[in-house]
Amino acid sequence: MWLRILPALSVVGLLGGCAGATHQLPLVDQTSLESAKGELASAPGKPSRHRASDSEVHTAVDTAVRRIRPAATELCLEMRLGVCEWNIVVSNDHSLNASAGANGTITINRGIVEYAANEEEIAMVVGHEIGHQAANHRAGGQRNAAVGAVIGGVLMGILGAVASARRPSRGSITAQSVASGASIGATLGHLSYSKEQEREADYLSALILYRAGVDLDKARGFLVTMARASGHKETGTLDTHPAGPERLAAWDKAVQEIRASNGAVPKETR
């Protein structure tokens, strides 16, 4: 039965992927992708983390935020999609991660500062999380997960009912199938949406940095660092982020488009 279920549930992922970004993003061609792969292949191994005091970490994040906040606020208000007031906090987590939470909360792990080579790279990460807030990705992801749950539950419920048609426990099997399908559908829907959200957040980060006068080439270095840290070369179905080469190539395409348009907001997808 699973051979029939999985192709059906793949529809959920396709729906999520098509609805992820709120703006039209430039396509990544194979030439750009191969170029990014070549660059990363020639880069050294895993990046190293430099220790920083609490004061140094907070100062670095605060400086980056002050540098881009006016441009970020202007862009967010221009977009009129999401949250434009942000509470940016620093976590003691040493990992290479940051997140956008409820009510405009943005968390920057101290690991971001400890792996960053310069202020521009920190600004790129802050801009990325602001991009999630400005595009209202949190609400969009929740909607897509809900849709995926419904589709998955219906598909699995039908298949479960068919498979157990002549069994006394048909009702129980069908109910379990619905619950399993809803769980799988929600996960697939959210994951597909997440990759599109990440691509858009990178684009909006580049746009914010461009408007703020931040060197985009210096900021780009953090994508290389993250790609070196992850080691992933291909984007998988269950990945929440595009793999390093794809993300780096997409950033280069975004920067090219942003410079050509002098920092204009791309057209919305709907």
DSSP 8-state assignment for residue 103:
G
pLDDT value at 195 more than 90: no
Q: Give tens-digit pLDDT for 223-237.
A: 999 999 987 665 544
Which range, of 28-32, 57-61, 155-159, 220-224, averages the lowest pLDDT? 155-159
pLDDT at 44: 81
Average pLDDT over residues 171-183: 58
Output the CA angle 43-47-50, nearest 5 degrees.
Answer: 140
The pLDDT, as a whole number, for residue 269 is 86
pLDDT at 210 (0 to 100) = 98
Say if residues 239 and 193 touch (Cβ distance below 8 Å).
no
Burial of 209 (0-12, 13-18, 19+ CB in 10 A): buried
Q: What is the mean pLDDT of the chain?
A: 81
Q: What is the 3-state secondary structure (H, E, C) of 16-76?
A: HHHHCCCECCCCCCHHHHHHHHHHHHCCCCCCCCCCCCHHHHHHHHHHHHHHHHHHHHHHH
Rounded-to-integer distance, Cα 3 and Cα 5, Å: 6
pLDDT at 256 over 80: yes
Give the pLDDT band (50/70/90) at residue 165. low
Residues 6+ apart with CB under 8 A from 30: none
Predicted confidence at residue 231, as pLDDT, reads: 77
Q: What letter does residue 88 receive in the DSSP assignment?
A: E
Handedness of CA 254, 259, 265, 270 (dihedral sign): negative
Residue type, 211: R
> Hunting for tokens 């990945």 — which residue is that?
239
Q: Does the reported pTM lie above 0.85?
A: no
pLDDT of residue 160 exceeding 80: no
- Residues of the chain with pLDDT > 70, as a percent, come to 69
pLDDT tens digits for 64-77?
999 999 999 999 99
pLDDT band at residue 155 using 50, 70 and 90 as cut-offs: low
**Interatomic CA distance for residues 227 and 231, integer angstroms:** 6
| Confidence band for 16, pLDDT divided at 50, 70 and 90 | very low
Non-local (6+) Cβ contacts of 49 within 8 A are 94, 111, 114, 115
- How is the chain split into domains, by residue range? 28-44+52-261
